[in-house]
Amino acid sequence: MTNVTFNKHIPDRVDITSAHLQCSEVIHDLFKNTPGAIRPLTTHLLSAHGKGVRAKLLLHSSMDSDGMVTGDAVRAAAAVEIVHLATLIHDDVIDEADTRRGIQSIQSKFGKKEAVLCGDYLFCLAFNVTSNLAEPYAKFAQKFTSAISRVCLGELRQFSNNHNTDIGIYDYLRTIRGKTAALFHIATYGGALIGGAPEKKLLALGRFGIYFGMIFQIVDDCKDYVLESSQAKKPTQSDICSGVINLPLLMAYLKEPALRNAPLTINLLQDVRRLGGVDYAYELAKKYEVKSQRILSQLENKKQAEELTSVLSQLMGALKVESYG
């Protein structure tokens, strides 16, 4: 893969509203101009629309008090979203998922081998995008690669614990801190880094990203029990059958320990609901929300705090509305 050529011009500074649009246009441009062998797959990806939450967090974490971000922030946001897409493609291969974001999954439409290679290609594409960043490229690249490593290790940790009904809440939290929260951490920490934030703010927004990621995964787990696949735009009620021990189930185990001996089938869904597993899980998400809001309340850039608070509020309301993420 040669260095990425951006056909779309990105200004050195752009307002936050335009930055979101430009980020989407960068991804669209890159996917439309991939080599012929993989272009049908990347073109198919463009027919699905996610919320771009990680890109939003990076851009909002990078914005100055005038609501402006740099062109490098737009590129970095695109890179984070491309990595996220790569992980989704690989997840769908592992889970044998037929749909993703309301359309046929890559592995279902093109085949498992093709999907794995497409995901690998997107990882390379994301790294290539970050290589076009100016300073502080070196530090961002280090954090970027570290985040992806933690995502992979978190996924492996989850897979190794599938069907293990003896795991505890600490094991679960350790897993999602890697597989989900790591990418949100690089979004907020990396955005602040590119925006030239001082060390104290870097660390604060980095923590916010971790908390946000923990909330995101907990809410996503809860959806498996309260939303239909048509609402979530991906298969739901499948974690249990795949042997995934998520937080609502763990909370039900605490209430009724004998359930740990029950087969991991869809029949457990009713037990989890009966025992309030979703409610207890959501309460933990609220505790992370309080920590997140405390960080945002201390930001001097009030416009930035308002934007990040808005994204957080949408996430916390995601069980009541359409799928978020």
pLDDT tens string 200-242: 999 999 999 999 999 999 999 998 888 555 454 555 567 787 8
**% of the chain exceeding 70 in pLDDT:** 91
**Is 77 within 8 Å of 199 (Cβ atoms)?**
no
Distance of CA 277 to the CA centre of its chain: 23
> Which residue type, as a one-letter code, is found at position 171?
D
CB burial class (10 A; 0-12, 13-18, 19+) of residue 73?
buried
Domain boundaries, the chain: 13-316
**Residues 268/271/277/279 CA torsion (nearest 10 deg):** 120
Q: Is the pLDDT of residue 325 over 50?
A: no
Q: What is the pLDDT of residue 2?
A: 53
Cβ neighbour number for residue 320 with a 10 Å cutoff: 7
Q: What is the pLDDT of residue 192?
A: 96
Q: What is the pLDDT of residue 42?
A: 94
> Which residue type, as a one-letter code, is found at position 39?
R
Q: What is the pLDDT of residue 322?
A: 40
Domain 13-316 belongs in CATH node 1.10.600.10: yes
The angle subtended at Cα 127 by Cα 98 and Cα 220, nearest 5°, is 40
Q: What is the pLDDT of residue 283?
A: 94
Instruction: Please name every residue paired with 13 in a beta bridge, in sequence order, or none if there are none.
Output: 70
325/25 Cα distance (integer angstroms): 18
